[in-house]
């Protein structure tokens, strides 16, 4: 018998023996029962039986306390939002498509409900589908959440990728989509989750990103000669002119003038553009549109919209072609920013990750070739119609074009060059623009 059991038995024997006095010095004075109290000292055998019952009652109380403590712990865990049953937890990636109209960008603003974002609806769907506990939604670092690109207000996506840790509940993709609005979808034709390495980060492992910018072609109409309305049709010569200017962006350049709060000598302002071109125009609902595609390692805030804006200003005749090259220098240049409506994140690329892990037998390559048709259908159903109808009703491009005359490109060029310097590229410089950069 252990020491604690002996102490419990002694305590029970004392109580069974009737009243007693507290310790007085080193000895315990046991008083006989007082007259008239109706109690008599029990025989030794009876006291032993009472002691056994006392020990049994003490052990039962201990078990009851342990069960109560366990129930309290389970209740606390439930209140903290933890999954009551053990489910496997894995790092996965999700391919997302969404129409950005009505949202203030992709990234969630913790503690702020004033501006709704795409991630607000995504986190809500993850919690409601049982993929993550509620407290992980409040602090997204707890689920190692990361996005490939932080799209701006009104910007859409047909191939956004996020990485996160989730509980592998049954029918996880269907459950998530069931709690999302129709303009946000998780794309996965096979219905399988794409598992990735434990340390995978969708932002850091992404090698390149492809965006497209959809705009009405009257944006390229010359300010002095061409029709500035829906009847305009892009000529082959103008399209070649546009593509020659867009090709100048290829390579590494200093894009500090194409974003905010970046100095000309900051290394992070240098970005590498793999390709940029304008596709053949097409007509929707009587209005002609064109799509400009750009692929780069990474982009800064507003960079693509300003890249498009400067080319439009040059083609329309508001800015000289020399402005393009000068914008990569250290001088401050006022580069116009095209509307965010037509910008769409089309695809993200993981070439290096796929080379290392895509064929290791444990992970799938992150290319989503099987989801291409699903992404195209989403663009046709949600993204293109939103851009077209918004442009027709709100005329965001037409309103922005009306602000271009306010930009005094000649004045900014003269200020940077000095009062005695002529503004221009010099002999043959325009043809060499595409070679500028590392």
Residues belonging to the active site: 152
Within 8 A by CB and 6+ apart from 91, the residues are 144, 163, 164, 165, 195, 196, 197, 198, 200
For the CA atoms of 257, 263, 264, 267, what is the dihedral angle to 10 degrees? Answer: -110
Q: How far apart are CA 53 and CA 8, in angstroms?
A: 11
220 in Cβ contact with 238 (< 8 Å): yes
Q: How far apart are CA 18 and CA 336, in angstroms?
A: 96
Which two structure tokens, joined as six digits, stand for 187?
Answer: 């794309």
Q: How far apart are CA 296 and CA 252, in angstroms?
A: 10
Q: How far apart are CA 119 and CA 276, in angstroms?
A: 29
158 in Cβ contact with 346 (< 8 Å): yes
Q: How far apart are CA 58 and CA 20, in angstroms?
A: 21
Q: How far apart are CA 214 and CA 342, in angstroms?
A: 5
Where residue 285 falls (left for φ over 0; alpha for ψ -120 to 50; beta otherwise) is left
Radius of gyration of the chain (CA): 36
Q: How far apart are CA 270 and CA 255, in angstroms?
A: 6
Q: Does 249 carry a binding-site annotation?
A: no
C-alpha 102 chain-centroid distance: 17
Binding residues: 211
Binding residues for substrate: 211
């Amino acid at each position: 018998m252990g020491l604690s059991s002996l102490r419990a038995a002694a305590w029970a024997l004392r109580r069974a023996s009737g009243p007693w006095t507290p310790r007085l010095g080193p000895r315990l004075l046991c008083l006989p029962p007082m007259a008239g109290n109706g109690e008599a000292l029990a025989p030794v055998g009876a006291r032993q039986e009472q002691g056994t019952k006392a020990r049994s009652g003490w052990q039962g109380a201990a078990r009851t306390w342990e069960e109560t403590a366990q129930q309290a712990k389970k209740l606390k865990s439930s209140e903290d939002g933890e999954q009551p049953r053990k489910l496997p937890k894995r790092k996965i990636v999700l391919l997302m498509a969404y129409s950005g109209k009505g949202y203030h960008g992709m990234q969630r603003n913790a503690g702020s409900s004033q501006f709704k974002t795409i991630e607000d609806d995504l986190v809500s769907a993850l919690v409601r589908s049982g993929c993550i506990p509620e407290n992980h939604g409040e602090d997204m670092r707890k689920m190692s959440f990361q996005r490939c690109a932080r799209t701006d207000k009104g910007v859409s996506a047909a191939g956004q990728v996020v990485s996160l840790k989730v509980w592998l509940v049954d029918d996880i993709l269907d459950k998530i989509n069931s709690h999302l609005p129709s303009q946000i979808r998780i794309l996965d034709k096979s219905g399988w989750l794409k598992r990735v390495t434990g340390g995978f980060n969708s932002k850091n492992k992404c090698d390149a990103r492809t965006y497209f910018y959809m705009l009405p072609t009257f944006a390229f109409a010359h300010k002095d000669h061409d029709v500035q309305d829906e009847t305009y049709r892009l000529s082959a010569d103008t399209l070649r002119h546009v593509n020659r200017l867009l090709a100048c962006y290829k390579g590494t350049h200093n894009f500090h003038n194409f974003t905010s709060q970046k100095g000309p000598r900051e290394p992070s302002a240098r970005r590498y553009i793999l390709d940029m071109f304008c596709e053949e125009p097409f007509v929707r609902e009587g209005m002609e549109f064109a799509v400009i595609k750009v692929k780069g390692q990474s982009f800064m805030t507003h960079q693509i919209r300003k890249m498009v804006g400067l080319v439009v200003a040059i083609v329309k005749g508001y800015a000289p072609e020399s402005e393009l090259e000068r914008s990569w220098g250290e001088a401050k240049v006022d580069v116009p920013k095209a509307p965010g409506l037509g910008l769409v994140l089309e695809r993200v690329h993981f070439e290096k990750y796929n080379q290392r892990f895509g064929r290791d037998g444990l992970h799938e390559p992150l290319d989503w070739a099987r989801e291409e048709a699903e992404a195209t259908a989403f663009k046709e159903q949600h993204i293109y119609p939103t851009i077209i109808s918004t442009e027709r009703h709100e005329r965001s491009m037409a309103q922005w074009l009306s602000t271009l005359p306010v930009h005094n490109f000649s004045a900014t060029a003269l200020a940077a060059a000095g009062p005695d310097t002529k503004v221009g590229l010099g002999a043959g410089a325009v043809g060499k623009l595409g070679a500028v950069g590392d």
